[in-house]
A and B are shown apart, each in its own frame.
Chain A
Amino acid sequence: MKFHKTLTAIGALALTTALGSFAAQADYPEKPIKIYVGFSAGGGTDTTARAFASFLHESEGMNGMPAVVVNKPGGTGMIAAKIVKESRPDGYTLYMINSGTFSITDMKSFGKAPVKPLEDFQIIGCMSQLVTALQVPISSPIKSADDFAKWAKDNNGKIKWGNSGRGSMHTLAGMLFLKRMGIQSQDIPFKGGSGARNALAAEKVDFAFNGIHMAAGFESKIRVLGVTSSERDKVHPDVPTLGEAKMPNLGIVGPMCLWGSKDLPAEAVTKLGAAIKHVAGLKGYARLMKKQGLLAIHRSAEEGTAATKKLYTELRPVVEEVFAKK
């Protein structure tokens, strides 16, 4: 009798465990998802993550499970990335960052960064992107991208331009652009995009390479001449690409992506990928993003990975020049 009871208990236990693990696989997600952000609350990555997270549970495959944004600032996002890398690859601990920042932080560490973006992680999908723009003060005699090419040749060697820090994608894209144009210049790094914008609006520098969203609200002080991407930015359709103006077409953008461990269960990747596509297409999400001057755009895992690989191949020579190998 006793033996029988024990057996039933074991059987029941085994069954529930089996059911449990089966259920866990079939019913992903069964608990809230954590999205780590490597920057403080209120920044660009954080606001995108929060806008995204607030719509994620509405997506069909998500079982109504909410996503929670966890801020863990430090090491240009690498502290949070390391936490995600070291946690269980079960699809409940994910990471959000734009590929530009992630790949450059990896490249400039020359192998010392704790996480290798495309080796340790995979892109699940992307829901926004950072676009680099060439900007001048409104009082500048440079009115267009064509003017810029002429002016830069005439003043070669005497040019001073501002940027948001040497480790930023916008800066390195700018350096690559000037290099292709054969322009010698002095860059002046400021702390963050707003610092660079401030110096540009105060006419302390001739021009700046900065995120195009930084110009929103500053239309009376700043003129945007062109973007480094191959396509025009949908939030700013009037701004041409620099390629259109017969200047080097870099085709550089920084997709903002949701990343996870490379060992994530296939089901989680599929469901999350579909959820990203769903959220990126929502009007409410697009509205929240547009208010910040950011673009709601969907890029699949493959497209995001391709854009990230392009960042690596295009920017690596510039990174190696700026951050000389030691």
Chain B
Amino acid sequence: MLDIIGGFETLFSNPSALGFVFLAAFVGIVVGALPGLTASAAIAMLLPLSFHLGPLSALAFLYVIGKSGRYGGSIAAILFNTPGTAASAATMQDGYPMTQQGKAGKALKTATLASIVGDYIGEIILIFGAVSIAVYTSRFGPAEYFAIYFMAFVVIGSVVGKSVVKGILSTLLGAIVGLIGLDTITAEPRMTMGIAELEDGLALVPLLIGVFVVSEIIVQAERAAKQGLEESYKNRSDEPDDNRMTWDEFKRCVPLMFRSSLVGSFIGMMPGLGSSVACFVAYGEEKRRSKISDKWGTGIVEGIAAPESANNAVSGPSMIPLLTLGVPGSTVAAILIGVFLIHGIQVGPTLFTNPDSRELIFALFACGLLGIAAYGIIGYFGGPAIGRIIAYMPARLIYPFIFLTAIAASYSSRASVLDILIALIFGVIGYIMRRTDFSTAAFVIAFVLIEGAEEAFRQSLLLSNDGLLIFVKEPVSLAFLLLGAGVLVFRTISVLRSGKKSETTTEAATSS
């Protein structure tokens, strides 16, 4: 507690750092909201600038951009159905339908509140738990990580969609696509068709854009060809309740935001899992819990609150593996490692024991706390203004614009023309999947998880002297595996039971 007060002292005696916190809050929202720019691309671009700043200003600037950028991504997701960052891919599921119903203002305010709640919970866990959590997780090896990945795969079960078979097929397809690239163990190329660029695997951003954005544009174009584009943006509601979150909705969302924040925080602590996994897991889990799970995806505030709390809750805890193990938990964290090193801060176990770096780190946490408030205020009052401008734009202008920004976003993450092609190919694949009721969410999550899961599994087997038994011998790994298996059994039973009850509920239950 004293440390964080000391952190604020350091921060407030450093006007330059203070200024950069506010600048970062603003810049992050803008780059996050522009579908062509992701927070990590912006941080990479601004990295050289940080050479010339003091360590606290540089770190605060980039750290807060990471936070406000994740939040800003929700604006693009809600208004344009384009994930401004990979973290907001799940927000589109309900955010965009709300915009179509003229409730963009409500959606944006929900996203802002949920992001603030998630971010604060994550940051508090980071401040008070970093050291003790790190002591615990630093003992984790491949077997433990595999068990955690296994748990995450089980949770995908909650977003598979109506047909279990199609859900499993979507997951398998995502896994196969995710395995393109260098084999993590043998370092030999796999399914790369001799294309050197594919050796690093498919990048997440173009894939997401293809599956979610390009496919949506095809759907809209097809509808336009049939009946003329409905000018959905025009019917912006002037009802005050459609432009804000009502007290009733807020009360409904509070427990859900807390749960999702904890989910996000937990995922953030695991190196390799990031915001993009957290948002889907929270969305899936809350959808499963919900009494009105069939309404999810049609434009309800819960569908925004859950993923937005979760993806911002990742921000703080993802610093734990970064600071204490030197293992980045997200793209933003990977770039931050470089910044730490440039400024001579050695990440690792000594970080919290060295008084100088300890003071700096707590000042950085103070920057985080202040930055969340800053982007919250800017977003809460400024976001709907952007929404209002968009609302008066006709759809025939919106979709070409979305298409252009989608192409730009695919290109910008790695400056790669191949990535544009990937976005277009997966646009067609995503379109076919949607038309045939395959689960695009399960596809994407499997894509994200498979690489780490495979790596951890094969490393465990190499480490083990008695094959698969290694997963049972490590207590942490055994606990997670049992938990995952338990959830699986429980869910199967509940699906079977509701299947007996009546035909109508079957659909709702299996879709959960």
Chain A residues in the interface with B (C-beta under 8 A): 40-43, 46-47, 50-51, 54, 69, 71-76, 78-79, 82, 108, 112, 114, 160, 165-167, 186-191, 194-195, 197-199, 201-205, 216-221, 288, 291-293, 323
Contact = CB atoms under 8 A, between A and B. Distances in A.
B199 A292 contact: no
Interface stretch (B136-144, B148-156, B375-383): B136-144
Contacts of B194: 112
B252 interface: no
B350 interface: yes
Nearest to B459: A188
A74 B141 contact: no
A281 B480 CA distance: 53
A239 B351 CA distance: 23
Contact of B199 (A41, A75, A82): A75
Interface stretch (B83-91, B101-109, B183-191): B183-191
Given A41-B335, A199-B142, A292-B341, A76 B199 contact: yes
Given A75-B196, A201-B325, A217-B350, A40 B44 contact: yes
B326 A194 contact: yes
A195 B327 CA distance: 7
Interface centre among B140, B184, B187, B339 (most CB of A within 10 A): B187
Contact of A41 (B184, B327, B338, B346): B338
Q: Which 7 A-B pairs have the closest CB atoms?
A: A42-B338, A217-B348, A217-B346, A75-B196, A291-B344, A204-B141, A41-B44
A220 B462 contact: no
Contacts, number: 131
Nearest to A197: B326
A261 to B, nearest CB: 19
16 contacts: A42-B335, A42-B338, A50-B48, A71-B44, A71-B415, A74-B199, A75-B200, A78-B196, A167-B187, A189-B186, A194-B326, A195-B327, A216-B348, A217-B349, A220-B353, A292-B341
Contacts of B196: 74-75, 78-79, 82, 114
Contacts of B141: 199, 202, 204
Interface string B188-223: 100000101101100000000000000000000000
Given A78-B196, A202-B141, 17 more contacts: A41-B44, A43-B338, A47-B342, A50-B47, A54-B51, A69-B48, A76-B199, A112-B194, A160-B462, A188-B459, A189-B187, A194-B328, A199-B141, A201-B138, A201-B349, A204-B142, A291-B341
Contact of A204 (B182, B326, B463): B463
B416 interface: yes
Nearest to B345: A291
A46 B47 CA distance: 11
Interface centre among A188, A197, A288, A293 (most CB of B within 10 A): A188
A83 to B, nearest CB: 10
A218 B187 contact: no
